[in-house]
């Protein structure tokens, strides 16, 4: 990764809803990751790290493992954690935070899909 005066560290956010099956978690994590890369013209070698959180009702598959199973992020630092249990929280949600280097004038495109749009309607395009 080459960092210079034309690049800046950004934090991309996203979330997806899914059912509690290995296949659906795998599919939805892949879809979310690909959408973030595509919308931000991001390559994996620009990524520093990826952190996932999951609501406590998603137990079938770790989203970091799901991403690796898809063949993506093989050399990246991945981490997953449980969301805190909050009264009224939206169920069956996987959130992601990607730290990456992009051009200094980049306009970040966050991605909220599959029912997660209600979390940040201000960031849904």
**pLDDT (tens digit, 9 = 90+) per residue, 40-99?**
999 999 999 999 999 999 999 999 999 999 999 999 999 999 999 999 999 999 999 999
What is the pLDDT, as a whole number, of residue 84?
95
**What pLDDT sits at residue 4?**
60
CA distance 115 to 90: 9
Residues above pLDDT 70, as percent of the chain: 90
The residues that bridge with 77 in the sheet, in sequence order, are: 49
Residue 19 vs residues 27, 30, 40, 80: alpha-carbon distances, Å: 10, 14, 27, 17
Residue 122 has pLDDT above 80, yes or no: no
Reading the block at residue 11, the tokens are 């934090």
How far apart are alpha carbons 118 and 28 in whole angstroms?
17
> Is the per-residue pLDDT at 3 higher than 60?
no
Closest to 61 in 3D by CA, of 99, 29, 15: 29
Rounded-to-integer distance, Cα 96 and Cα 100, Å: 13
Q: Which of 18-22, 89-93, 106-110, 115-119 has the lowest mean pLDDT?
A: 115-119
């Amino acid at each position: 990764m080459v960092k210079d005066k034309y690049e800046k560290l950004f934090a991309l956010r996203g979330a997806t809803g899914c059912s509690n099956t290995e296949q659906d978690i795998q599919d939805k994590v892949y879809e979310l990751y690909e959408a973030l890369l595509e919308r931000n013209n991001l390559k994996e070698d620009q990524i520093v790290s990826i952190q996932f959180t999951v609501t406590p009702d998603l137990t079938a598959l770790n989203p970091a493992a799901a991403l690796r199973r898809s063949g993506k992020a093989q050399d990246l630092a991945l981490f997953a954690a449980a969301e805190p249990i909050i009264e009224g929280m939206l169920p069956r949600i996987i959130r992601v935070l990607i730290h990456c280097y992009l051009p200094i004038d980049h306009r970040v495109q966050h991605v909220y899909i599959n029912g997660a749009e209600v979390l940040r309607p201000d960031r849904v395009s």
